[in-house]
Structure 1
Amino acid sequence: MSRRSNQQKFSSEKYRDKHRNFGLKYERSCGAIVFREINEELRVLLVQHSASHWSFPKGHVEKGESDYETAIREVREETGIDIEITSDFSRASTYSPYPGARKTVVFFIGDYLGGSLRPQLEEVQRVAWLKPEDSMKYLVFDRDREIFNDALQEIGYEVNAD
């Protein structure tokens, strides 16, 4: 059973409707910071989108889909594994990927349920389970690092500064 209780589902359709008339193209994506233990050590799942860009699995919200459903689907599509959203944690990053566009990405914490890593080669070059300390070295964007730090605090993990 999920630790999440009475969790409000976000509606990307309401988000799009609210922002539709401002002349900008609005995009919304959702993803998850996925944790698991391997040999009694915490690991986090990262995906490599390009030669220099590692991040967390994420993707666009499809019509009629909740943000949670999007995050779970995108993790499965990009990595081949199944997850569960297990807390009320959510953090958003909003930026302009190109002129005339505004993109919001919402991240949740996901727990690994099963499956083998299998990158979706059309979108992802590689996937890897990394130690949290090593993951920080691969995350390119400051906001990704901030959100990751928040997630680590949420689960009570202290990063060793070795």
Structure 2
Amino acid sequence: MSIDRRHLPKITDEIKRTWQPKRRDFSAGGVAYRRIGERPDAEPTRIEIALIATHHERRWQLPKGTREAGETSVETAIREVEEEAGVCTELKQFLHTVEYWYWDTYQKSEPCLVHKQVDFYLLHITGGQLSDASYEVDAVAWFTLEQGLKQLTFEAERHVLRLAIEQLNGASESSEI
């Protein structure tokens, strides 16, 4: 059975209060970065981030996914980045929480209103090989910070990347991150 999304009501405050069924989802992800040209005696030549593409490569986004039972938000972010982008990371710091509402109609007889919260972290890549091994991902690629700002589909994720850039630019002066 398929629900025609064009006939769903706009998500207003009233809909948020009264619609049933609805659920709350918690996810986490990260700005996974690497420094290129880094040597102990020199500054890095550039910083690159890993982005994933979904929906037939129409959506470029930060890797993220749903928190599993018993998992912390940080554990989710690190696991999801590895699953979706193929790279191992270590936590540098929390960046921002994004919240949004959407209609879940996938394999549903009636639409479910979802309130999603996504915690994003700055994650330094420590190993692995960039790959799109996850069935949920159509492509994965490296982007410079500036390219990433242009490539990301969603403004909320561009905001997260801007916060990461602030941290990375501040850290390059102090060599902390």
Q: TM-score range, shorter-chain basis?
A: 0.7 to 0.9
Equivalent residues in 2 for 1:29-108, closer than 5 Å: 29-39=27-37, 40-50=45-55, 51-87=57-93, 89-98=94-103, 100-108=113-121
- Distance in 2 (CA, whole Å) between partners of 1:35 and 1:121 is 19
d(CA) in 2 for partners of 1:80, 1:46: 11
- Report the CA distance between 1:79 and its aligned residue: 1.4
Structure 1 distance, partners of 2:161, 2:28, is 14
2:113 maps to a residue whose letter is G
Instruction: With the length of structure 2 as denominator, give the TM-score of the two structures.
Output: 0.72
Following TM superposition, the consecutive aligned residue runs of length 4 or more in structure 1 with deviations greater than 3 angstroms are none
Q: Percent identity?
A: 31
Match of 1:155, SS?
helix
* Secondary structure, counterpart of 2:169 in structure 1: coil
User: How far is the alpha carbon of 1:121 from its aligned partner?
Assistant: 4.1
Structure 2: 5+ residue stretches without partners: 1-19, 38-44, 104-111, 171-177
Question: Which residue identity does 2:52 align to in structure 1?
Answer: V
Task: Quote the offset at 1:124 in angstroms.
Answer: 0.5
Q: Could you list the runs of 5+ residues in structure 1 that have no partner in the other structure? A: 1-21, 158-162
Aligned-pair Cα RMSD in Å: 1.6
Aligned partner of 2:23 among 18, 22, 25 = 25
TM-score, with normalisation over the residues of structure 1? 0.78
Aligned 8 A contact 2:92 2:122 in 1: yes
